[in-house]
Structure 1
């Protein structure tokens, strides 16, 4: 297994000592930015965030060298709304992206900010993306405008109105460039069955049927149940190819002679279903040794059904195929597979960080790492994302800026992914867009202990819409259904958890008379929204 190699062996000198600012460090306006984003990676499945079982040495090292954010949250606990907020700096009520079904090009306002266009205002900067940034590039084409290079591993037709270079991430000879084909190579019987299901879908499409979710479901939900050994070596899997291509590109960027900074977004997938990894990572985790979450559904007190998705899983353990029933034995297998995927993607990030060092770019590049949302690992009987529980809404976030005074420290400040675009802009000296609904957390990289936001917010569309407000000690949620009347909705359920005493959110206090004042205060905070919770001095 290959992890980060010694910096001494790379011949790198003049390293930044964590927590001590370099007297020669340039201002952030002249630094490159490497943004690493991973799908579905739970903060609870990273060593640096307290998990003593999973092996994530590269992210652990990054956390020691940079600033680890312990209270970072997404705006929607599924891919599309979270990423829409990331690339616009707007919240779901403004992007109008609440779930995975909305196409960004169709619903996001035409004049909304766009990450690539914002950063392109940095004179002469080169912008690139490898892997996943938005949910679907074919449904978010205008958000690719501004990138000089966009490489991806999922099949799309050529994107229109895209001035830069666009192409698939290269694959080794004889290997398909499209990630969708990886699962078709699974060991028997699964590879055969997936090919059969795919053939059924293609035949029905050829007969004139629309490619709806109902048509895709049988293939995609069988696909989601696949766990364990992928049958492929890491260099041929999607994330392995993305990592190696990124290393090649960093070497090319290091040879540029124009003195202008670059922004490179790298999107990895491995902790998303299907939970498949190369054999050397799968072999690290014995399913029999896995301990299931203590937050089992029979221990929940007053937790509303809507908060637990009415007992349904939409991804792994989706219930469509009886042979993949949610038994304790299979849950342990899934947990081991998830950890294997975490270690696999950690190793790929390690390769990228090695490449950054080897190219001589580490001392002039800001590295920002996060995931788009979390992942339920059996808590409340739930798997995958798509809930308002802490396991879905909380994300890992680490920033390593050369020379930053906060390096080597941890911050409890509450931040959100909607804050990322304002932060990137501030690092490059670009003006704040007045439409943004997040605040730059750049000051926290220098002074991690300063007062910051009072609350963070998220939404999810289940039986209407669930809305959450999270403060340092409490989480409050309201679930409402649309009545069909303008501006009117009917309450379905409420939640209130004291996370200081109940970190697994198993005792709902919303209807407890003794906690009525706290419930009312949190309801008022939810109603007041993000503007009333901004950091000090940000114009509440």
Structure 2
């Protein structure tokens, strides 16, 4: 039987998306969303005959979210996203202005790189996992239960016995290999997109490459990113290429995702509206943000680059940690109870309140 699916953003929600400036949308929403709900990608994947196998692998608990993609590499979600973005750019009028946001689901779990990308990863060059014996002996640690078992609050659901400590070293090795292989696939896809953009627009391009979070990859014995204030999840590189930039430079200035809007508007010659971010060039000239903050439902973390405060509220419980990153760069010690940290802890908490209650609210 031949059938088609019409997405809501093509019909009743079209005006809403248009009001946000989205005049073209092709969805590969999330790897685990695509295997359960129909988006543009999963509709095509099913017609190609690979959706059922992808579903089975994704929801197989014994695989622990780590497996080779069960189909040709061209049908991997990130390869599909890169291909659709390049095709869209190729079809455009090169004289018209363009803003394109391309979002890759990977290398987010499931860690599902096509097997042919495994050879791109040299596992011998990887640093050993960061492991500190007894790190979670203190029941007040945020990830105590996720590591040891019971009802945790981060990402232990894929672990045997729901305890991250039960993952074997072989599992961590396979996970890290798949993750990096997926990065290699995305690297190829980004290359195709940039090639298409250069053919269409020449050098008149502002390119921003970044992510919303990192991945623990077995460091501290943890899996995923949920409620993690570690630098593995927090400290995400950002690459920015301006049209007039001739030489590259590396900066340790702290930026936030809220800086993307003013950077894009200013580069396009527009007037930056009142917003929470700061243009990248202005930010770097000023030495970067003094504080950076991450927040979500039941989650708050703030850092000044040398110290970090993390507050998690889940299931009517509060977990608080203070990390002195200058003295403890591997972030293995919770200094929340150390009187020597009281001054810096108070500073970070007060600044977090100022940012959330004053800066971010109209």
Fold shared, TM-score > 0.5 on shorter chain: yes
> Which shows bigger deviation, 342-351 or 418-427?
418-427
Q: Which TM-score applies when normalising by structure 1?
A: 0.54
* Aligned mate of 2:248, from 389, 408, 415: 408
| CA shift digits 1:77-112 (9 cap, x unpaired) | xxxxxxxxxxxxxxxxxxxxxxxxxxxxxxxxxxxx
Structure showing greater relative contact order (alpha-carbon pairs closer than 8 Å, 6 or more residues apart): 1
State the 1:391 CA deviation. Answer: 1.5
- Counterparts in 2 of 1:384 and 1:438: CA distance versus 1, 3 Å: same
Tell whether 2:141 aligns with 1:305.
yes
Tell whether 2:155 aligns with 1:314.
yes
| CA shift digits 1:211-265 (9 cap, x unpaired) | xxxxxxxx74739824242132322222222222222222222x44xx3311111
Consecutive unaligned residues in structure 1, runs of 5 or more: 1-137, 157-166, 196-218, 484-489, 535-540
Greater strand share, 1 or 2? 1
Partner of 2:302: 469
1:389-404 aligned within 5 A: 389-404=230-245
- Counterparts in 2 of 1:523 and 1:452: CA distance versus 1, 3 Å: same
- Counterparts in 2 of 1:451 and 1:220: CA distance versus 1, 3 Å: same
* SS of residue matched to 1:457: strand
* Aligned mate of 1:525, from 311, 330, 351: 351
- Counterparts in 2 of 1:303 and 1:469: CA distance versus 1, 3 Å: farther
Partner of 1:168: 40
| Contact persistence 1:153–1:177 (CA under 8 A) | no
| CA shift digits 1:338-388 (9 cap, x unpaired) | 11111111111122222223x142401111111121111112221111122
Tell whether 2:206 aligns with 1:381.
no
1:129-278 aligned within 5 A: 142-143=16-17, 145=19, 146-153=21-28, 168=40, 175-176=45-46, 182=50, 184-185=52-53, 194=56, 220=59, 222=61, 225-253=64-92, 255-256=93-94, 259-278=95-114
| CA shift digits 1:277-309 (9 cap, x unpaired) | 122212344778865412346246868332556
Tell whether 2:194 aligns with 1:338.
no
Question: Whole-Å Cα distance in 2 between the matches of residues 284 and 379 of structure 1?
Answer: 22
* Aligned mate of 1:495, from 296, 305, 321: 321
State the 1:144 CA deviation. Answer: 5.4
CA RMSD of aligned residues (A): 3.8
| Contact persistence 2:306–2:326 (CA under 8 A) | yes
| CA shift digits 1:456-490 (9 cap, x unpaired) | 111244xxx2321110211112344798xxxxxx8
Partner of 1:361: 201
Consecutive unaligned residues in structure 2, runs of 5 or more: 1-11
Question: Whole-Å Cα distance in 2 between the matches of residues 332 and 398 of structure 1?
Answer: 28
Count of aligned pairs: 335
Tell whether 2:331 aligns with 1:509.
no
* SS of residue matched to 2:25: strand
| Contact persistence 2:117–2:182 (CA under 8 A) | yes
Partner of 1:326: 167
Question: Whole-Å Cα distance in 1 between the matches of residues 257 and 14 of structure 2?
Answer: 19
Question: Whole-Å Cα distance in 1 between the matches of residues 190 and 342 of structure 2?
Answer: 46
Partner of 2:4: none
> Which shows bigger deviation, 471-480 or 290-299?
290-299
Question: Whole-Å Cα distance in 2 between the matches of residues 389 and 382 of structure 1?
Answer: 10
